[in-house]
Amino acid sequence: MSEETSDTVVTVLDRLVAAGLSPERAEEHLRSGRVQVDGETVTDGDRAAPAPARLVLVAG
């Protein structure tokens, strides 16, 4: 693993996109307050969310 890769911060937006959401759809969920990280509602897609943080989309 390269040094650059080990220093990369995985964000909420990264995780949502990796799960199959388009970046636009992920941003929409964030703006609407429908994303939780470890039980806390988040609206900032740039927030760090490395595994094993649990991301949940809440029905709205």
Q: Measuring CA to CA, how many Å separate 6 from each of 15, 21, 50?
A: 16, 25, 12
CATH 3.90.1200.10 holds for 3-57: no
What's the confidence (pLDDT) of residue 12?
98
Predicted confidence band of residue 1 (pLDDT cuts 50, 70, 90): very low
Tokens standing for residue 52 = 């094993």
The pLDDT tens digits for 2-60 are: 444 567 999 999 999 999 999 999 999 999 999 999 999 999 999 999 999 999 999 97
What's the confidence (pLDDT) of residue 5?
56
| DSSP 3-state of 46 | coil
Contact 15, 49 (CB under 8 A): yes
What's the confidence (pLDDT) of residue 28?
98
Contact 28, 13 (CB under 8 A): no
What's the confidence (pLDDT) of residue 7?
79
Containing H/E element for 56? strand 55-57
